[in-house]
Chains A and B, each alone.
Chain A
Amino acid sequence: MHPALSVIIFNTFSGLGFGLLFWLGMGVLVPTGWAAFIWFVIAYLFAVGGLIASTFHLGHPERAIKAFSQWKTSWLSREGICAVFALITMAIYGAGLVFAGTRLGVFGVIGGLASLGVVFTTSMIYAQMKTVPRWRHWTTPAMYLILSLSGGALLAGQIKIAAVLLIIGGILQIFAWGTGDRRFVEAGTNMESATGLGHIGKVRAFEPPHTGTNYLMREFIHVVGRKHADQLRIITIGLAFVLPVVLLLLASNHLIAALAVISHIAGVLVLRWLFFAQAEHVVGLYYGKR
């Protein structure tokens, strides 16, 4: 799959932002006044900034309002509704903390859970794709949630929670990669089933339908990501999980904590790039590629 920059930025930063909103909503940290204002600005910049970035890959972003209508079947529609609900609920909760110095606990809990709901609905957009076997697995939503929770805890300065979640996340990610590597073959879709010609013999793509490239090949066939997958996986594990945990265990000041956050964000950006670049869409089979 083509790793679109706007979608990678959306997935990384909105995940962090909604993770931070979750911990704020749950009352793990309860800032008031100006401190609360700064916490909520950081969370909203990440969450909303990512959402805005995600509209950059749309052909017609001006019609985005229509995307709230099909929640009965579409995970993208559910994600949009969930995001608006979470942001409004958490804004009320935040206003209580900033302006009145009171914690409106109900809004916090509902808004916090809705923030996780946004991350879950986002992950299901990918996990529902039968056409991309690597994504169609419980590890996809599990990794989205873990990354959001651990990144949010890291931003919120919750060292113990963040360290535990990062360790779980790193192990789960290695498991997701290991099982994901086999899933395309296990799904049983191949050139023979794609063309229905397997009963005659081995099928080989002889001539493509056109001399150049096309939308399908640009969007769904991406080979560079797989070429360097091993190195990128090591970089991801190091930056997103190992280094932040080590820094957290050493952490005694804000500078080290900030380094842990920066390392984690850089690692998650690489992780997300790999998430797309490594995923193989079955349509590539019609072109004799994956």
Chain B
Amino acid sequence: MTQLPPPSAKKLGLVIDLDTCVGCHACVVSCKGWNTENYGAPLSDQNAYSGAASGTFLNRVHSYEVQPEQGAAQLIHFPKSCLHCEDAPCVTVCPTGASYKRAEDGIVLVNESDCIGCGLCAWACPYGARELDAKEGVMKKCTLCVDRIYNENLPEEDRQPACVRTCPAGARHFGDLGDAESDVSKLVAERGGFDLMPEQGTKPVNKYLPPRPKDVEPEIDILAPYLEPVAQDGAGFAHWLDKALSALPGGAK
């Protein structure tokens, strides 16, 4: 049913640390790897070996340049996948009931055998979290690796989303954001985690941690300004060569 369930106590989601992400795209690759082989239709590619390659991904990493009023610009890598919104507009627009939000843990999923591929849910999502697979004609989205996190056939350390498990920088965290005492909730509180496009009113469960302020370059030595710059009237072979070459016709002065 595409009516949203009452807000669940358990809100599983991701916390993404924009300070730590190095933009390696390992999460993108592991996501595609796991999800093309497991839950639902595979994630197809079109013209994968040509100049016009295109494909379905559930997680993509953008990179932004942010220019402060003063000082150097910052480069920030920005992974983006489904935010499993509490007030998910993608769910209520679905005409068939294929799109739904789980009452027990808040994960937003697509029942692919009911999906007619109309694309309205992708229109309703402000984040671009849903992609219609060009080969299968059904809507694909992040499942929060629902087939890993509860999977007792996997060792316990693997029972987290593939993107989180693989992140070499520790920039991705998985947990229950409905529980104020969980590690992820504490992290969000401590670091000032924020929502994307809060004005859209979607109440995302996933949170982003802001980049920490950059260090200001310190003054290394208080005497440095009084030191002479590199010798202008030097001596030795290099100095002689410089003068000799400059003296030649057409030599640089």
- Of all chain B residues, the one with the shortest Cβ separation from A64 is B116
Stretch at the interface among B121-129, B151-159, B245-253: B121-129
CA distance A281 to B91 in the complex (A): 18
Q: Which of A75, A201, A219 contacts B122 (CB 8 A)?
A: A219
Interface residues of A in 173-225 (CB under 8 A from B): 187-189, 191, 193-197, 199-216, 219-220
CB–CB B93/A128 < 8 A: yes
CB–CB A215/B66 < 8 A: no
Residue interface bits B194-228, CB-to-A below 8 A is 1, else 0: 11111111000000101100000000000000000
CB–CB B57/A202 < 8 A: no
CB–CB A131/B1 < 8 A: no
- A228 adjacent to chain B (CB < 8 Å): no
CB–CB A58/B118 < 8 A: yes
Contacts A130-B89, A193-B197, A215-B132 known; A60 to B123 CB distance under 8 Å? no
Inside 8 A of B201's CB, which chain A residues have their CB? 130
Inside 8 A of A210's CB, which chain B residues have their CB? 57, 60
Interface residues of A in 132-151 (CB under 8 A from B): 132
Residue interface bits A274-290, CB-to-B below 8 A is 1, else 0: 00000001110011000
Residue interface bits A97-128, CB-to-B below 8 A is 1, else 0: 00000000000000000000000000001001
Inside 8 A of A282's CB, which chain B residues have their CB? 126, 197, 200
Q: Which of A67, A193, A281 contacts B96 (CB 8 A)?
A: A67
B101 to chain A, nearest CB (A): 12
CB–CB A74/B115 < 8 A: no
CB–CB A204/B65 < 8 A: yes
Interface residues of B in 22-71 (CB under 8 A from A): 25, 28, 51-57, 60-69
Total contacting residues, chain A, CB less than 8 A:
60
CB–CB A206/B124 < 8 A: no
CB–CB A189/B64 < 8 A: no
CB–CB A216/B95 < 8 A: no
- B136 adjacent to chain A (CB < 8 Å): yes
CB–CB A69/B96 < 8 A: yes
CB–CB B93/A73 < 8 A: yes
- B97 adjacent to chain A (CB < 8 Å): yes
Inside 8 A of B124's CB, which chain A residues have their CB? 129-131
Q: Which of B63, B133, B199 contacts A206 (CB 8 A)?
A: B63
Residue interface bits B60-94, CB-to-A below 8 A is 1, else 0: 11111111110001111010100000000101111
CB–CB B96/A63 < 8 A: yes
CA distance A54 to B223 in the complex (A): 76
CB–CB A215/B93 < 8 A: no
- A77 adjacent to chain B (CB < 8 Å): yes
- A254 adjacent to chain B (CB < 8 Å): no
CA distance A8 to B226 in the complex (A): 74
CB–CB B122/A216 < 8 A: yes
Inside 8 A of B104's CB, which chain A residues have their CB? none
- Of all chain B residues, the one with the shortest Cβ separation from A209 is B60
Inside 8 A of B134's CB, which chain A residues have their CB? 215
- B119 adjacent to chain A (CB < 8 Å): yes
B124 to chain A, nearest CB (A): 6
CB–CB B28/A209 < 8 A: yes
Contacts A67-B96, A282-B197 known; A204 to B126 CB distance under 8 Å? no
CB–CB A197/B66 < 8 A: yes
Q: Which of A187, A208, A211, A286 contacts B199 (CB 8 A)?
A: A187
- A94 adjacent to chain B (CB < 8 Å): no
CB–CB B76/A214 < 8 A: no
B242 to chain A, nearest CB (A): 41
CB–CB A189/B2 < 8 A: no
A141 to chain B, nearest CB (A): 16
Contacts A189-B126, A215-B131 known; A201 to B64 CB distance under 8 Å? no
Question: With A59-B117, A67-B116 given, can you name 10 additional A-B contacts, CB distance below 8 Å?
Answer: A59-B133, A194-B196, A194-B197, A195-B76, A196-B194, A200-B68, A208-B62, A219-B123, A283-B127, A287-B62
Query: Please, could you name 15 A-B residue pairs with CB atoms under 8 Å apart, sorted by A?
Result: A1-B123, A58-B117, A59-B116, A125-B93, A128-B93, A129-B124, A130-B126, A130-B200, A194-B196, A195-B64, A201-B68, A207-B63, A209-B62, A219-B122, A282-B200
Q: Which residues of B contact A (CB under 8 A)?
A: 1-3, 18, 25, 28, 51-57, 60-69, 73-76, 78, 80, 89, 91-98, 114-120, 122-128, 131-134, 136-139, 194-201, 208, 210-211
